[in-house]
A and B are shown apart, each in its own frame.
Chain A
Amino acid sequence: MAESTAHVTWHGSLLEGAGTIESVGSGVFSSLPITWQARTGEEEGKTTPEELIAAAHASCFSMALSHGLAGAGTPPESLEASATVTFVPGTGITKIALTVRASVPGIDEAAFLEAAEAARVGCPVSKALAAVPEITLDAALA
């Protein structure tokens, strides 16, 4: 079992106020500024829940794919993945688009695409976010 913790503080109202991700358990980041404007309009150097979800999903997918490829006897040299989260205020997250470009010695395209699809379906973040209407994947060998 693994537990992960994050601390956030917020001052004032939603529209005029502002918040900070004060700390996370790993200590790897702190003092990330957040505002509602950053979430719905221009980012202006502030992060949002949707950006953090995109980061979580891209990392989870990468780990699952590299694990699957190694398990099949074709470990990857490198993977570059991205996740793009679409958020509609009032509705929620409507779509997550995953992309991956991978350098995998000795694999054919069909086997790679199969492993990528398995990671899209099976990674813990994909499973946790199964309620998102659309999770797409664009996978290719580099």
Chain B
Amino acid sequence: MPRIVREADIEWEGTTARGSGVVRATSSGTFELPSTIASRVEIHEGKTSPEELLAAAHAICWVTSLGSELARLGTPPERMHLKCTITMDEVEGQGHRIVASHIAARAVVHEADKATLAEAAAAADAGCPFSALIRGTATVTYEATLEGGS
């Protein structure tokens, strides 16, 4: 398979504590976002943080894995909604660490029962490259529920 390269950059003015930065999606041009250290560790005040961007990345990665697994089982999803929550904590002797990522998925899937969704979700979590990447250093958990159907 071909290698795929994606790029983003940030311009940061001043120190971490008092400065601020702008993160840009240079590959797709889809976003240009303000970021500060306060938005990362205190309240976000409408600014993003590395962890929020990782939460968005994990949510997409997982939702595409779940869709693939449901299709593979013969029950392609009609619609899926997924929430990812990343937790960063101060770990004694190690400073700030990303300690956990939790996925909460809701799927509308015709003709899928709970067991099928559970099987697809387990395979999705095992197969999601992002889950695999951070499992060595953080706890990855998930829950998946069927919505509006059998």
Q: With A66-B16, A87-B6 as given contacts, are A8 and B81 in contact (CB-CB < 8 Å)? A: yes
Number of B residues, CB within 8 Å of A = 88
Alpha-carbon separation in the docked complex, A62 to B69 (Å): 37
Alpha-carbon separation in the docked complex, A19 to B88 (Å): 26
**For B82, what are the chain A residues with a Cβ–Cβ distance below 8 Å?**
7-10
* Beta-carbon nearest neighbor of A35 in chain B: B64
Interface residues of A in 56-101 (CB under 8 A from B): 56-60, 62-64, 66-67, 69-70, 75-94
**Least Cβ–Cβ distance between B38 and chain A, in angstroms:** 11
Q: With A19-B63, A21-B60 as given contacts, are A4 and B4 in contact (CB-CB < 8 Å)? A: no
Alpha-carbon separation in the docked complex, A66 to B14 (Å): 8
Q: With A55-B25, A56-B53 as given contacts, are A124 and B79 in contact (CB-CB < 8 Å)? A: no
Q: Among the listed B54, B61, B64, which residue makes an inter-chain contact with A56, where contact means beta carbons less than 8 Å apart? A: B54
**Least Cβ–Cβ distance between B89 and chain A, in angstroms:** 5
Q: Does A117 lie at the interface of the complex (its beta carbon under 8 Å from any beta carbon of B)? A: no
Alpha-carbon separation in the docked complex, A78 to B136 (Å): 33
Alpha-carbon separation in the docked complex, A4 to B138 (Å): 15
**Least Cβ–Cβ distance between A73 and chain B, in angstroms:** 11
**For B33, what are the chain A residues with a Cβ–Cβ distance below 8 Å?**
28-29, 55
* Beta-carbon nearest neighbor of A47 in chain B: B30
Interface residues of A in 4-40 (CB under 8 A from B): 4-14, 17, 19, 21-22, 24-29, 32-34, 36, 38-40
Chain A interfacial positions (CB closer than 8 Å to B): 1-14, 17, 19, 21-22, 24-29, 32-34, 36, 38-40, 43-60, 62-64, 66-67, 69-70, 75-94, 122, 124-125, 127-132
- What are 19 A-B residue pairs whose CB atoms fall within 8 Å in the complex? A2-B89, A4-B49, A4-B51, A8-B59, A10-B64, A25-B52, A26-B46, A28-B34, A36-B64, A38-B28, A49-B60, A52-B54, A55-B23, A58-B8, A62-B21, A70-B17, A75-B15, A83-B8, A86-B5
